[in-house]
Amino acid sequence: MFDLKGHTALVTGAGQNIGAGIAKALAAQNAAVIVNDYHLERAESVARDLLESGARALAVQGDVTDLESVRRMVNEAQTSVGPIDILVNNAGNAGAGAFVPIRFRDMPIEGWDQFLKVNLYGVLNCVKAVLDPMCERHWGRIITISSEGYRTGTSMGISLYAAGKAGAVGFSKQLSSEVGRFGVTVNCLVLGTMNTFPQAAQQTRSYPIPRPGTPEDIGAAAVFLASEEASWITGQAISVNGGVVTA
Positions marked active-site? 161
Alpha carbon distance 183, 169 (integer Å): 20
Tell me which DSSP letter residue 151 carries: T
In the chain, the amino acid numbered 14 is: A
Residue 39 neighbours by CB distance under 10 Å: 13
Alpha carbon distance 7, 26 (integer Å): 10
Entry field: residues in the chain: 247
Alpha carbon distance 98, 118 (integer Å): 13
167 neighbors 119 (Cβ within 8 angstroms): yes
SS3 137: helix
* Cβ neighbours for 110, distance < 8 A, ≥ 6 positions apart: none
Alpha carbon distance 132, 110 (integer Å): 33
